[in-house]
Amino acid sequence: MSHLKIDPINLPGLDLKRPIIIAGPCSIETEEQTLSTAHLLAAMGIKLFRAGVWKPRTHPGDFEGVGSVGFPWLKKVKKETGMYVGVEVASAYHVYEAIKHGVDMMWIGARTSANPFAVQEVANALKGVNIPVFVKNPINPDLELWIGAIERINNAGITQIAAIHRGFSTYDKTEFRNHPQWQIPIELRRRFPELPMITDPSHIGGKRSLIATISQEAMDLNFDGLIIESHCNPDEAWSDAQQQITPGELKKLIDGLILRRPKIGDTPRATLDELRKQIDKLDNDLLDTLKERMKISEAIGVYKFENNITILQARRYDEIMKDRRERALNRGLDADFVIKIFEAIHEESINRQSAIMNKKIKDKEEK
pLDDT at 32 over 60: yes
Which run of H or E residues covers position 211? Answer: helix 208-220
What is the rounded average pLDDT of the residues 272-280? 79
Amino acid identity of residue 77, one-letter, is V
Q: How far apart are the two ends of the chain, measured CA to CA in Å?
A: 63
Q: Is a pLDDT exceeding 50 seen at residue 16?
A: yes
Task: List, as one string, the DSSP characters of 239-279.
Answer: S-GGG-B-HHHHHHHHHH-----SEETTEE---HHHHHHHH
Question: Cα–Cα distance between 11 and 171 in angstroms, integer?
Answer: 40
| CA–CA distance, 179 with 206 (Å, rounded to integer) | 10
Mean pLDDT of the chain: 91
Distance of alpha carbon 238 from alpha carbon 331, whole angstroms: 49
Q: What whole-number percentage of the chain has pLDDT above 90?
A: 62
Alpha-carbon dihedral of residues 352, 354, 355, 361, nearest 10 degrees? 150
What's the average model confidence in pLDDT over 113-120?
A: 97
* pLDDT tens digits for range 77-100: 999 999 999 999 999 999 999 999
DSSP per-residue string spanning 22-90 = EEE-SS--SHHHHHHHHHHHHHTT--EEE--SS---SSTTS----GGGGHHHHHHHHHHH--EEEEE--
Closest by alpha carbon to 81, among 24, 35, 131? 35
Residue 122 to residues 129, 254, 271: CA-CA distances in angstroms?
12, 33, 38
- Predicted confidence at residue 1, as pLDDT, reads 47
CB 161 within 8 A of CB 133: yes
User: What average pLDDT does this structure show over 230-246?
Assistant: 94
**Stretch 285-304: mean pLDDT:** 89
Task: Supply the pLDDT for residue 13.
Answer: 87
Does 116 score more than 90 pLDDT?
yes
Is a pLDDT exceeding 60 seen at residue 269? no
Confidence of residue 271 (pLDDT cuts 50, 70, 90): low
Band of pLDDT at residue 262, cut at 50, 70 and 90: low
* Rounded Cα distance, 85 and 308, in Å: 65
pTM over cut 0.95: no
Q: How far apart are CA 338 and CA 105, in angstroms?
A: 48
Per the CB < 8 A criterion, the answer to whether 146 and 137 are in contact is yes
Q: Is the pLDDT of residue 176 over 70?
A: yes
Whether residue 263 is predicted with pLDDT greater than 70 in this model: the reply is no
In the chain, the percentage of residues whose pLDDT exceeds 70 is 96
* Confidence tier at 266 by pLDDT (50, 70, 90): very low
d(CA 237, CA 291): 37
Of residues 139 and 362, more confidently modeled: 139
- What gap in Å lies between CA 258 and CA 273, rounded to an integer? 12
Task: Assess whether pLDDT exceeds 80 at residue 242.
Answer: yes
Residue 320 pLDDT class (50, 70, 90 cuts) = confident
pLDDT at 267: 43
- pLDDT for 365: 80
Give the whole-angstrom CA distance, residue 197 versus residue 193.
9
Mean pLDDT of 27-36: 97
pLDDT tier, 230 (very low <50, low <70, confident <90, very high otherwise): very high
Closest CA to 203 of 118, 113, 293: 113
DSSP-derived secondary structure for 303-347 = HHHHTT--S--HHHHHHHHHHHHHHHHHTT--HHHHHHHHHHHHH
Give the whole-angstrom CA distance, residue 337 versus residue 238: 53
pLDDT digits (tens, 9 = 90+) for 209-218: 999 999 999 9
Is the pLDDT reported for residue 265 higher than 60?
no
